[in-house]
Structure 1
Amino acid sequence: MISADLPSTRPYLIRALHEWCTDGGLTPYIVVAVDERVQVPREYVRDGQIVLNISFDATSGLRLANDVIAFKARFGGVPREVVVPVDHVIAIYARENGQGMAFAAPQPAAGEEPPPQRLQVVAPDTQAQAPAGTAADAPQPGGEGDGHPPRGGKRPTLTRIK
């Protein structure tokens, strides 16, 4: 079989890292490049990206398919439907330790600004103050209480590097 005939490895790697997080008692988060093809609450999008908690505790009806990730989740107490094309997932990582994997950003549609070139997950023990406007500033839906994980402590952050 020619490699062009093979499906993308991205959905398989996302499912594997999701399972690894779940088995290890960690919380899987994905970073999504948002455009008109992504169905997420727009009020939580920052700098064209959204960070989503995709743990079984934070989602209902989670489906990790080859072409789309779909689930229901509460955002500020309001249930919402989320649909993310797999090619828009630009990272998956464990909230507790920052371990995970980054992927190439999707190609922008005509007239859109190109996506950031690199992402860096900073582990808790090396965490530096993240610059304003990074994914670390974005609300993190799907956490405890008001729909956001706790801000205190040594939580890993995701920082865009251009």
Structure 2
Amino acid sequence: MPDIPSNKPYLIRALHQWCTDFGFTPFVAVFVDSRVEVPMEYIKNNEIVLNLSIEACHQLQIDNDWISFQARFGGIPRKIMVPVSHVLAIYARENGQGMSFPFEPEKVRDLHIADTSDEGLDKPNLGKPSLRIVK
């Protein structure tokens, strides 16, 4: 039986669309390691929560492997790159409805075993991801 592609990017796109259609603010919680390109000063416990609303980000692309966009952090424009494999959850800020995803660090490590430059990041808590609603 051939490998079936992950349904995760499709679910992320669907929940993003649902949030947008009903006026909610789509947030994603992301596990951060060396493959994730985000402002380091906003990372807590190897996680960051990002606002994916139309007002907050420009040129949003949610592909099967990557989420990319441009956004301002503290007034400074930044390019954001997140592997879909690192998304822990997507939810509506206003009511917390959404979906969390199992995070399997072994599979993520297998994807980039040669990339071991996680300097400056805390050792990850590989248990259940902590999901924080940010208002």
TM-score, length-scaled by structure 2 = 0.82
| CA drift at 1:13 | 0.3
CA distance in 2, matches of 1:89, 1:78: 24
115, 118, 124: which one pairs with 2:128?
118
Contact 1:10 / 1:86 at 8 angstroms: preserved in 2? yes
Instruction: Confirm or deny that 1:104 pairs with 2:114.
Output: no
State the AA in 2 paired with 1:42. Answer: M
CA distance in 2, matches of 1:114, 1:75: 24
Contact 1:33 / 1:106 at 8 angstroms: preserved in 2? no
31, 34, 37: which one pairs with 2:32?
34
Instruction: Confirm or deny that 1:57 pairs with 2:67.
Output: no
List structure 1 segments (4+ residues) > 3 angstroms apart after TM superposition.
108-116
CA distance in 2, matches of 1:90, 1:5: 22
Please give the per-residue CA displacement for 1:105-125, whole angstroms capped at 9, x wherever unaligned: 24154788454432466xxxx
Distance 1:106 1:72, change over 3 A: farther
Which protein, 1 or 2, shows the higher relative CO under an 8 Å CA cutoff with sep ≥ 6? Answer: 2
| CA drift at 1:48 | 0.4
Q: Could you list the runs of 5+ residues in structure 1 that have no partner in the other structure?
A: 122-134, 141-154, 156-162
TM-score, length-scaled by structure 1 = 0.69
Please give the per-residue CA displacement for 1:8-29, whole angstroms capped at 9, x wherever unaligned: 0100000000000000100000
**Equivalenced residues, count:** 123
Please give the per-residue CA displacement for 1:98-140, whole angstroms capped at 9, x wherever unaligned: 001001124154788454432466xxxxxxxxxxxxx45xxx6
Secondary structure at the aligned position of 1:26 is classed as: coil
Aligned to 2:11: 13
Contact 1:93 / 1:99 at 8 angstroms: preserved in 2? yes
Distance 1:22 1:78, change over 3 A: same
CA distance in 1, matches of 2:76, 2:97: 30
RMSD over aligned Cα atoms? 2.1
State the AA in 1 paired with 2:12. Answer: I
Q: Could you list the runs of 5+ residues in structure 2 that have no partner in the other structure?
A: none
